[in-house]
Amino acid sequence: MRQNNIIKIDIDQVVKERAKNKKVPRFLINYLKKIAHQEEINKFLEENSNLKNLDFIDAGLQFMGIETEVKGRENLPPKDGRYIFASNHPLGGLDGMATGMLIGKEYDGKVRFFSNDLLTNLEPLREMFIPVNKLGSQSRQHAKMMDDLYNSDNHLVTYPAGMCSRKINGKIVDPEWKKNFIAKAVQYQRDVVPIYFEGRNSNFFYNLARLRKFLGIKFNIEMMYLADEMFKQRGNKFTLTIGKPIPWQTFDKSKTQTEWAAWVKEAVYKLKNSR
């Protein structure tokens, strides 16, 4: 449901559309509303419908009581360049907001994120979030939009894993990083700036993901709990560590682009130990 051009969470409507001709127990609907924090989020959207871009993100961080500490700030490259900031993705929401504020404030608001279509429907963030999963008849139009974006003077923030971190072999790490950001860095001659964001979701989130995978369920059930995971972080302080920029010329033919992506991922996680 829309109000003031802002998507509002409406679990009743979602269930009605997704479970047509089926009677869904009221207790289950109420549970979904609870883990989605429907009432709290809708209230925030209503009260901040006049804000956009960094102002909206700043209001969100204040609403959640989030503080950030930045290490390696001296590694931020000069404003006259064009960069791709590549980060791990431990939380699935707040890490993007905090990183967006950091880059946006340092580079005069010239920051754009790659995101799924859902976030691009949030009117206050429509200019900052770029959809990455356009297919079919829109693919040519989307390709042009990507070309314009990479040719612009905006700095780009990417999460190459494409999803938030999971517990793998006892450690909270991203899944495999996709190679696309390496290809784009070379094609558009953008240096890559590694960022390590220190944070984690709850054990419940990771255990649910592991159980879902064990049962062979393809639908990411744990993603339904990301809003709840976000609210569990309320009042926390997070540390972002910025590494030295990696010149785009680094990504030569000595490795495949997939190998270079893994190399940058490793460089990001080494920042944790360097602190």
Q: Where are the beta strands (DSSP E) in 128-264?
A: 129-131, 155-158, 166-168, 171-173, 191-198, 237-242
User: What is the count of structural domains for the chain?
Assistant: 2
The pLDDT of residue 194 is 98
3-state helix, strand, coil split of the chain in percent (to 5) is: 50, 15, 35
Residues 191 and 153 in one domain: yes
Residues 142 and 250 in one domain: yes
The pLDDT of residue 250 is 98
Note the pLDDT tens digit of each residue in 163-191.
999 999 999 999 999 999 999 999 999 99
The CATH number for 97's domain is 3.40.1130.10
Residue 119, pLDDT above cutoff 80 = no
Residue 243 identity (one-letter amino acid) = G
Question: Cβ atoms within 10 A of the Cβ of 130, count?
Answer: 21
Residue 135, pLDDT above cutoff 50 = no
Mean pLDDT score, 39-62: 94
Residues 60 and 164 in one domain: yes
Residue 234, pLDDT above cutoff 50 = yes
Whole-number average pLDDT of the chain: 90
**What range defines the domain where residue 233 resides?**
55-274
More confident: 105 or 129: 105
Gyration radius from the chain CA atoms: 19
Residues 106 and 62 in one domain: yes
Residues 125 and 150 in one domain: yes
pTM across the whole model: 0.90
